[in-house]
């Protein structure tokens, strides 16, 4: 059974917030980043040494790219911070 929850993504460089809902059993860190880029909330990173990293504000736990939100422990109404990692970040 799907677990649909509401979450908020916090932009890495300004105060923008993207609110959405997702299925914790199928949404992964990588699929969330791809969706945020497709929605123009995040810019596509051209440098392959850089990446976006997601973390749950409530716990400080990072969400691995291949981990589902369920595996990472994302809960309803969580805020998720986005940082840029890698060279020059």
Per-residue pLDDT tens for 47-68? 778 899 999 999 999 999 999 9
User: Could you give all domains of the chain from N- to C-terminal order, each with its CATH number?
Assistant: 4-86 (3.10.20.90)
Rounded distance between C-alpha atoms, residue 1 and residue 56, angstroms? 23
Nearest alpha-carbon partner for 12 in 87, 84, 88: 84
Tokens 């422990």 correspond to 73
Q: How many CB atoms lie within 10 A of CB 34?
A: 14
User: What pLDDT, on a 0 to 100 scale, did the predictor assign at position 87?
Assistant: 53
User: What pLDDT, on a 0 to 100 scale, did the predictor assign at position 89?
Assistant: 42
Per-residue pLDDT tens for 24-47? 999 999 999 999 999 999 999 887
Rounded distance between C-alpha atoms, residue 26 and residue 10, angstroms? 21
On whether the CB atoms of residues 23 and 58 are closer than 8 A, the answer is: no
pLDDT band at 77; cut points 50, 70, 90: very high
pTM, two decimals, is 0.89
């Amino acid at each position: 059974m799907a677990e649909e929850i509401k979450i908020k993504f916090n932009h890495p460089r300004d105060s923008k917030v993207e609110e959405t809902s997702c299925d914790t059993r199928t949404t992964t860190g990588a699929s969330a980043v791809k969706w945020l880029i497709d929605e123009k909330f995040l810019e596509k990173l051209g440098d392959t040494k850089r990446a976006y990293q997601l973390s749950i504000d409530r716990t400080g736990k990072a969400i691995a790219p291949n981990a589902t939100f369920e595996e990472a422990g994302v809960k309803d109404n969580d805020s998720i911070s986005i940082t840029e990692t890698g060279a020059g970040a």
